[in-house]
């Protein structure tokens, strides 16, 4: 821009949630609507600057939405409210994400930021703040769904000269990126929620425990904390209330188990991240033996809205037992992937088909994996299940932190269960026997089922082992590790039976049971695409001549069949 002499302000924002349209660029001319461009390439960027910024003409075919109320003359460009991806969402926590510059405290303040903090500290007692949170019905968004106000009250009532508040940003579920997006897109919202919580429970010191694998989130948090200190939102005698608060960042080293609250506190204390038995709960004896309140990133993200707009306004969203909204990372085989925030009680069908736009190429949905590695797989026939804590628990899944992976008929449910169990098994800290040994034995059984060596009775053995591990593990990582296996057995038992009895993988995924791939010589056009994607160099052939696959080298991975433009490759 400098070289071309373009006189424009270049700024940044966080993730607005439309992952499938990234990279996104917005252009706002003085006095006009802000226009969003999607899937912007290098060439597009030059064109947008030339035509829109300099020429004042919107590049309509690349524009995906306009901010504002739809008063634009150019009707080819919908507003955000017109987009199906957004008009079914209710954005409370993500309200600022993708709109403001996350590195500017001024933009946060201009959008009403820190007003809830001022209201709480100036005009409410800590007990009134807790009562408001209790009345709102807010429940922990980290997965367990414990009532937040009750947790705060327990910590407040425990006598101690020192208390702590901790934000659990150790987001480790495969496929989940809700917390990271919030920290990267609107860090001040989380900090404001923490200040209010600290005031309510009487804590003068706080920690944000965030994974070291989130460098951008850490950088933006550091900037936000410095800015909040400079503006007097963190420090001594905040708003003349006599309340002091300091906030620090603690980087986690990437252990999944450190998302468990007692392991997390051990990690902050400099010990090995391992859970300990409860009780005592952290609200009684937490960090360095002092009463500690731990909430997840998204939970803190809800607090300022509740204090500012009142518990009633918050309760008006969601269901009676699960108030408010929930952020989900919608991924997998769905047309519109991304980060969505929906009112509790919305059905899975509405999320996947209404917001996500359904399955690509009209494929059939097979299951939805919800709640990360601790969650479960929900089959197509339960798509009208409302998303709330109780309904999901009854279906054998759990809310988790919000990962939602959509699967179609090309997915093998046994393989999925194995994948998630492999993850939790490798992340087991090893402290308790049921989790350390039990998940290992379950994984061995799944490995042999997927390699075509499953035995009669393996399904029953998995069920028995899973049930024991759930009941006897020390922490929730172990206690919920068998969930993906148990839920897939519950809803997809026939797939397990096909693997064991017929030695068949119905989705043709498990390599141990897949036949070799062959190229139909009549259909092959010799384009060479299969040759390029083959990871073992098993495919040979001259250009524009039919290719052949060397069966000895073929791994049956299927990459060639997926790439072939004329569908000439199939399994025998």
Partner 1 sequence: MRSMAELLQLKAEIGHKLADAELSQKPKIIVGMGTCGIAAAHVTLWKPSARSWRRPASTRP
Binders of partner 1 in range 388-417 (CB under 8 A): 403, 405, 410, 415
Q: How far is the CB of 385 from partner 1 (least distance, A)?
A: 22
Binding mask 141-170 for partner 1 (x = CB under 8 A): ------------------------------
For partner 1, the binding residues in 74-103 under the rule CB under 8 A are 98, 101
Distance of CA 14 to CAs 11, 36, 97, 101, 104, Å? 11, 13, 5, 7, 11
Q: If you ran DSSP here, which 8-state letter would residue 514 be given? A: P
- Which residue, 53 or 548, has its beta carbon nearer to partner 1? 53
- Which residue, 268 or 413, has its beta carbon nearer to partner 1? 413
Q: Which of 60, 122, 313, 461 binds partner 1 (CB under 8 A)?
A: 122
Structure tokens at 479: 């206690």
For partner 1, the binding residues in 426-455 under the rule CB under 8 A are none
For partner 1, the binding residues in 515-534 under the rule CB under 8 A are 533
- Strand ranges, E, within 150-303: 164-169, 205-211, 246-252, 292-296
- Which residue, 193 or 282, has its beta carbon nearer to partner 1? 193
Q: How far is the CB of 27 from partner 1 (least distance, A)?
A: 6
Q: Is 569 in the site for partner 1 (CB under 8 A)?
A: no
Q: How far is the CB of 151 from partner 1 (least distance, A)?
A: 27
**SS3 letters across 242-262:** CCCEEEEEEEECCCHHHHCHH
Q: What are all long-range contacts of 502-507, with beta carbons under 8 Å and residues at least 24 apart?
A: 503/452, 505/412, 505/414, 505/415, 505/450, 506/412, 507/409, 507/410, 507/411, 507/412, 507/413, 507/415
Q: Which of 72, 119, 162, 278 binds partner 1 (CB under 8 A)?
A: 119
Q: Is 177 in the site for partner 1 (CB under 8 A)?
A: yes
Q: Which of 164, 209, 214, 492 binds partner 1 (CB under 8 A)?
A: 214
Q: How far is the CB of 353 from partner 1 (least distance, A)?
A: 19
Q: Is 53 in the site for partner 1 (CB under 8 A)?
A: yes
Q: Is 254 in the site for partner 1 (CB under 8 A)?
A: no
Q: Which of 264, 509, 549, 568 binds partner 1 (CB under 8 A)?
A: 509
Residue 209, helix vs strand vs coil: strand
> Quick check: 126 and 202 in contact, CB under 8 A?
yes
Q: Is 180 in the site for partner 1 (CB under 8 A)?
A: yes
> Quick check: 330 and 85 in contact, CB under 8 A?
no
Q: How far is the CB of 400 from partner 1 (least distance, A)?
A: 14
Q: Which of 231, 357, 451, 504 binds partner 1 (CB under 8 A)?
A: 231
Strands 403-408 and 325-332: parallel
Q: Which of 135, 419, 526, 548 binds partner 1 (CB under 8 A)?
A: 419
Q: Which of 77, 124, 165, 176 binds partner 1 (CB under 8 A)?
A: 176
Q: Which of 80, 209, 233, 517 binds partner 1 (CB under 8 A)?
A: 233
Q: How far is the CB of 191 from partner 1 (least distance, A)?
A: 14
| Of 26-34, 345-353, 456-464, 543-551: span binding partner 1 (CB under 8 A) | 26-34
Nearest to 462 by CA among 513, 505, 500: 500
Q: Is 223 in the site for partner 1 (CB under 8 A)?
A: no
Strands 365-370 and 325-332: unpaired
Alpha-carbon distance of 403 to 371, in angstroms, equals 5
> Quick check: 311 and 295 in contact, CB under 8 A?
no
Q: Is 232 in the site for partner 1 (CB under 8 A)?
A: yes
**Kind plus residue range of the DSSP H or E element containing 189:** helix 187-201
- Which residue, 217 or 323, has its beta carbon nearer to partner 1? 217
Alpha-carbon distance of 24 to 18, in angstroms, equals 9
> Quick check: 164 and 238 in contact, CB under 8 A?
no
For partner 1, the binding residues in 533-562 under the rule CB under 8 A are 533, 535, 555, 557-559, 562
Q: Is 259 in the site for partner 1 (CB under 8 A)?
A: no
For partner 1, the binding residues in 464-483 under the rule CB under 8 A are none
For partner 1, the binding residues in 317-376 under the rule CB under 8 A are 329, 331-332, 337-339
Alpha-carbon distance of 25 to 130, in angstroms, equals 41
Alpha-carbon distance of 208 to 231, in angstroms, equals 20
């Amino acid at each position: 821009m400098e070289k071309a002499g373009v006189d424009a302000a270049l700024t940044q924002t966080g993730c607005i949630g439309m992952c499938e349209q990234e990279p996104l660029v917005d252009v706002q001319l003085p006095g006009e609507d802000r226009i969003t461009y999607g899937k912007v390439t290098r060439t597009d960027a030059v064109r947008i600057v030339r035509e829109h910024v300099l020429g004042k003409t919107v590049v309509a075919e690349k524009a995906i939405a306009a901010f504002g109320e739809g008063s634009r003359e150019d009707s080819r460009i919908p507003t955000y409210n017109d987009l199906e991806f957004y008009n079914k969402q209710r954005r409370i926590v993500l309200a600022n994400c993708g709109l403001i510059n996350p590195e500017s405290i001024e933009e946060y303040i201009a959008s009403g930021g820190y007003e809830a903090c001022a209201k709480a500290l100036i005009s409410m007692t800590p007990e009134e703040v807790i009562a408001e949170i209790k009345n709102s019905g807010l429940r922990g968004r980290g997965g367990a769904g414990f009532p937040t106000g009750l947790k705060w009250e327990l910590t407040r009532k425990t006598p101690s000269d020192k208390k702590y508040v901790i934000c659990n940003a150790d987001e480790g579920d495969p496929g989940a990126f809700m917390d990271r997006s919030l920290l990267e897109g609107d860090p001040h919202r989380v900090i404001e929620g923490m200040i209010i919580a600290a005031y309510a429970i009487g804590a003068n010191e706080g920690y944000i425990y965030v994974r070291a694998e989130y460098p951008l989130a850490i950088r933006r948090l550091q900037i936000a904390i410095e800015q909040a200190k400079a503006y007097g939102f963190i420090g001594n005698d905040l708003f003349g209330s006599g309340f002091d608060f300091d906030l620090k960042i603690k980087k986690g080293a990437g252990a999944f188990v450190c998302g468990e609250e007692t392991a997390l506190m051990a990690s902050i204390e400099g010990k090995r991240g391992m859970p300990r038995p409860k009780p005592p709960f952290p609200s009684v004896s937490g960090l360095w033996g002092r009463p500690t309140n731990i909430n997840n990133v998204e939970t803190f993200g809800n607090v300022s809205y509740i204090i500012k707009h009142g518990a009633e306004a918050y309760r008006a969203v969601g269901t009676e037992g699960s108030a408010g909204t929930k952020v989900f990372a919608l991924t997998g085989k769905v047309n519109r992937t991304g980060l969505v925030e929906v009112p509790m009680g919305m059905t899975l069908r509405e999320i996947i088909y209404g917001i996500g736009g359904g399955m690509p190429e009209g494929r059939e949905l097979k299951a939805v994996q919800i709640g990360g590695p601790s969650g479960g797989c929900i089959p197509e026939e339960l798509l009208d299940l409302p998303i709330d804590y109780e309904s999901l628990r009854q279906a054998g899944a759990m809310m988790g932190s919000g990962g939602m992976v959509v699967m179609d008929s090309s997915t093998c449910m046994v393989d999925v269960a194995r994948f998630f169990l492999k993850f939790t098994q490798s992340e087991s800290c090893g402290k308790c026997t049921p989790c350390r040994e039990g998940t290992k034995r379950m994984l061995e059984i799944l490995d042999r089922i997927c390699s075509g060596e499953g035995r009669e009775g393996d399904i029953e053995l998995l069920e028995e082992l899973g049930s024991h591990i759930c009941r006897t593990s020390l922490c929730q990582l172990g206690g919920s590790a068998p969930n993906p296996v148990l839920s897939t057995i519950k809803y997809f038992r026939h797939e397990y039976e096909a693997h064991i009895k017929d030695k068949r993988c119905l989705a043709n995924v498990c390599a141990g049971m897949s036949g070799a791939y062959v190229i139909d010589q009549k259909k092959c056009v010799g384009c060479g695409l299969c040759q390029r994607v083959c990871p073992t160099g098993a495919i040979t052939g001259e250009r524009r001549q039919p290719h052949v696959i060397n069966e000895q080298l073929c791994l049956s991975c299927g990459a060639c069949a997926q790439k072939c433009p004329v569908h000439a490759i199939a399994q025998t």
